[in-house]
Structure 1
Amino acid sequence: MRDFASELETRKQAGLHRTRRLVDGPQQPALTADGKPVLAFCSNDYLGLASHPAVSAALAAAVAGVGVGGAASHLICGHHQAHHRLEQRLAAFTGRSSALFFSTGYMANLGVISALAGRGDTIFSDRLNHASIIDGCILSRAKVKRYPHNDVQVLADQLAQTRGHKLVVTDGVFSMDGDLAPLKELAALCRESDALLVVDDAHGVGVLGTHGGGSLEQLGLSEDEVPLLIGTLGKAVGTSGAFVAGPELLTEYLVQKARTYIYTTAMPPALAEATCAALDIITAEPQRRAHLQRLIKRFRDRTQALGYRLMPSQTPIQPILVGDNWRALELSRRLEEMGLLVTAIRPPTVPEGESRLRVTLSAAHTDAELERLLEGLAQCADLAGA
């Protein structure tokens, strides 16, 4: 039998062991974690909607009318009017023809990628793509070619050398670095190469674009240029679930072929209603994104002045590159002693030698709360050096 205990001990000795914190109360910057009050800078609740009163009220009202459980898959009797309304809202919100509501972003990527490519096909995947994209590629049984992060020229060479059906898949905003994919260049290359482009914009939807439509809206990329957009709802939107948006031909194809859509119970319809309420707020309150951008600029200016190494990100994901696993853990520990919760990210989530603190900012953070973080980082500046 495999020695699981030994493997766990090896991870502990390498500074790679992971633990869970027990959080109490609503998700917001001021949290109770393991019984202690902390100010969190590690959540993906980028717009502060996870515990917004209007979203919570919409959920409670919907539960009273439609109950809790989804009860069946979408193709049996689980596809509720609430799901249908949300899909129409998501299509309009992202400027696409249609949308499908999935249970999670992980399931969306697994289902979409494995449905759109199979044996005899080739998938091209950015080397820093999320684990769900990597696993979707493996599940598809297609040949997978990984290209260096955001390297359009290498991808162009790979595409030129490949025949048959070609699928290119990339994150829109990369979850651990916070940078953006060169989507305009990728879209043009895929048109020239007759390749289907899929963008997972989990960390862009709600945050980027004039109306919060994400990376594609910010760059003005149409459905013709980027056929399929995948987004999650548990980050900036503040609820749960995921979606894929694109031409009706492709979403109908996914209804027939995406196993993670076909063979799972539909998400609670009340959750779909709450998500519509969250989309209303995103559309009506652009000041949330404006405040967030001000926080990002202030954080970058002050943190770099302290000597910390930041990644080239203009998104709420602001990684502080440390390098060594133990130094990253020590920086996280010292901040937590000051009541600041910022988690250390280590391999295999990031490459060897690139351990970091993944700071994430939210529109729910106040100027005073950001100042607390900056003061804490100033006191730990001895750990800033590479």
Structure 2
Amino acid sequence: MAVNSKYRRILPEIRGLVDFSSNDYLGLARSDIFSGSPDGAHGSTGSRLLTGNSEEAMHTEAYLADHWSQEGVLIFPSGYMANLGLLSAVPGRHDTILYDSLSHACIKDGVRLSLANGFSFRHNDLNHLESRLKNASGQAYVVVESVYSMDGDQAPLKEIQLLCQQFEARLIIDEAHATGLAGIHGGGISEADNIEFFARVNTFGKAVGLHGASVSGSAWLKDFLVNNSRPFIYTTAPPPHLFVQIRKAFDFLKSHPELAVRLYNNISYFHQKSGAILNERVMPGPHAVQAVLIPGEEPVRNAAATVQAAGYDVRPILPPTVQEGTERLRICLHSYNTKEQMDGLLTILKTLL
């Protein structure tokens, strides 16, 4: 069967370009801080409940629990699986999950796999969330991202926390794009703003420079997931050296806070320059993800090709990832991008727009 070209995705083969596309916000994925495998082990040999558990896994989960002052932390092989495993397992048949309409696909898929009733609320719309909470049945769960991956904007976590407290709802926060960047210990915006939550997902594939993710919360939550989360139970565990590297990364981030400072200085510089050049086309999020709106599949593809030809790795974002009419170039800023690189990128964009 032919693939509809409108939604066809092709694996990229782009090399040697200035990076404005990856999630390696602080450059750790290309650094030399990771090396070696404990006991020469390169694989875990099985699921955590069979042969795949290790001292390194338990040590790292205890390390993160202490690091973030949480009762329990459970590590999954990816952020996708963490959200899938959490949302499909915990909410019950008569419960309600309310999730932001711009939530990542893994959150929406987790809701679909759950036995609970699932409803979206308009993006960052507190009034709509409140109306949903008033009509929720059973235990209500509210799921948001601290930083949204396509618009780069931030959830009003303090106000959402107050609504959850008012309606006795359980707050779940995905910190994918703030892990390692916000909070004294890299826990994300919820740590920086002292937000109370039922569960928090922290991913290690972005600013932390690795892969995998964790779910933090109560000791009960960790035990429940170990026994009921199918994506955790039936998946081969990450290799022991990944757990070692996770601890290394957070130790490194703790001793190098200047990396995040450099990133946010770059964000500020990009905002200052892009506002004058791109006007209403740019969606100036306060975090690493920046979006330049170029509606239409062909125009945004052509724009990306032109930018890449000039030496800058920027990718087009198309439906169904975003709604038709909101196609955009997604620009990821990093601590290692220079002012000259940002100026060069903006100069190319100015000629296009």
Change (3 A) 1:354 1:275: same
**Counterpart check, 1:199 vs 2:138:** no
Give runs of aligned pairs for residues 147-158 of structure 1, distance below 5 A. Answer: 147-158=121-132
Quote the residue 1:349 is aligned against: 321
1:183 is displaced (CA, Å) by 1.0
Partner of 1:52: 31
Of residues 307-316 and 98-107 in structure 1, the stretch that sits farther from structure 2 once superposed is 307-316
Displacement after TM superposition at 1:238 (Å): 0.7
Corresponding position of 1:245: 216
- Single out whichever of 285-294 and 323-332 deviates more from structure 2: 323-332
Q: Give the alignment partner of residue 378 of structure 1, picking from 315, 335, 347.
A: 347
- C-alpha separation in 2, matches of 1:208 and 1:177: 18
Which whole-Å CA distance do the structure 2 matches of 1:73 and 1:66 have between them?
19
Give the deviation of 1:267 after TM superposition. Answer: 0.5
How far, CA to CA, are the matches of 2:336 and 2:341 in structure 1?
14
Q: Distance in 1 between matches of 2:125 and 2:349?
A: 35
Partner residue, 1:17: 8
The answer as to whether partners of 1:303 and 1:374 remain within 8 angstroms in 2 is no
Q: Retained in 1: the 8 A contact 2:271–2:284?
A: no
What secondary structure sits across from 1:260 in the alignment? helix
Is the contact between residue 175 and residue 187 of structure 2 (CA under 8 Å) also seen in structure 1?
no
What is the CA–CA distance in structure 2 between the aligned matches of 1:97 and 1:144, rounded to whole Å? 28
Q: Distance in 2 between matches of 1:188 and 1:160?
A: 14
Among all aligned residue pairs of Structure 1 and Structure 2, give the percentage whose two residues are the same amino acid.
36
Is 1:260 the equivalent of 2:231?
Answer: yes
1:199-218 aligned at under 5 Å gives the runs 199-218=173-192
Q: CA deviation at 1:353?
A: 0.6
* Partner deviation per Cα, 1:266-321 (whole Å, 9 max, x = no partner): 10011110111111111110000010011101111111211252224111111112
2:291 corresponds, among 281, 295, 319, to 319
Q: Structure 2 CA distance, aligned partners of 1:114 and 1:379?
A: 44
Deviates more, 1:374-383 or 1:326-335: 374-383
| Aligned 8 A contact 1:96 1:246 in 2 | yes
The reply on whether 1:280 has 2:251 as its aligned counterpart is yes
3-state SS, counterpart of residue 229 of structure 1:
strand
Give unpaired runs (5+ residues) of structure 1: 23-32
Rate the CA distance shift 1:338–1:75 in 2: closer, same or farther, 3 A: same
Q: How many residue pairs were aligned?
A: 352
For 2:17, what is the secondary structure of its paired residue? strand
Note if contact 1:82-1:269 (Cα within 8 Å) is conserved in structure 2: yes
What amino acid sits opposite 1:289 in the alignment? A
Q: Is the 8 A contact 2:140 2:168 kept in 1?
A: yes
Show CA shifts across 1:28-64 (max 9, x none).
xxxxx3xx52112100011111122122x2xx2x25x
Helix, strand or coil: the match of 2:24?
coil
Aligned residue identity for 2:277: L
3-state secondary structure, aligned to 1:231: strand
Alignment partner, residue 294 of structure 1 = 265
The match for 2:70 is 96
Which amino acid is the alignment partner of residue 8 of structure 2?
Answer: H
Please give the alpha-carbon distance, in whole angstroms, between the structure 2 residues aligned to 1:162 and 1:131.
Answer: 22
Return the offset for 1:91: 1.8
Letter in 2 for 1:316: A
Q: How much does 1:383 deviate?
A: 3.0
Structure 2, unmatched stretches of 5+, are none
Residues 212-248 of structure 1: CA distance to partner in whole angstroms, max 9, x if unpaired? 2211112122xxx212100111111111111001111
Aligned counterpart in structure 2 of residue 233 of structure 1, from 204, 220, 243: 204
TM-score, normalisation: structure 1: 0.88
Report the CA distance between 1:323 and its aligned residue: 1.8
Distance 2:10 2:48 in 1: 35
CA distance in 1, matches of 2:351, 2:30: 36
Inter-partner Cα distance in structure 1 for 2:68 and 2:188: 8
Q: Deviations over 1:302-344 (max 9, x none)?
A: 1121125222411111111222222211211111111111000
Quote the residue 1:29 is aligned against. Answer: none
| Pair 1:180-2:154 in alignment | yes
Root-mean-square deviation (CA), in Å? 1.5
CA contact (8 A) 1:335 1:377 kept: no
Three-state SS of the structure 2 residue aligned to 1:197 is: strand
- In the other structure, the counterpart of 2:111 is 137
CA distance in 2 between counterparts of 1:249 and 1:380 reads 51
**1:151-175 deviation digits (Å, cap 9, x = unpaired):** 1111111111223121111111111
Alpha carbons 2:317, 2:329 under 8 Å: kept: yes
Alignment-mate amino acid for residue 251 of structure 2: D
Matched residue SS, 1:145: strand
Work out whether residues 334 and 380 of structure 1, in 8 Å CA contact, stay in contact via their aligned partners in 2.
Answer: no
Deviation at 1:79, TM superposition (A): 1.3
Q: Distance in 1 between matches of 2:69 and 2:141?
A: 22
Equivalent residue letter for 2:323: P
**Structure 1 residue 66, shift from structure 2 partner:** 4.3
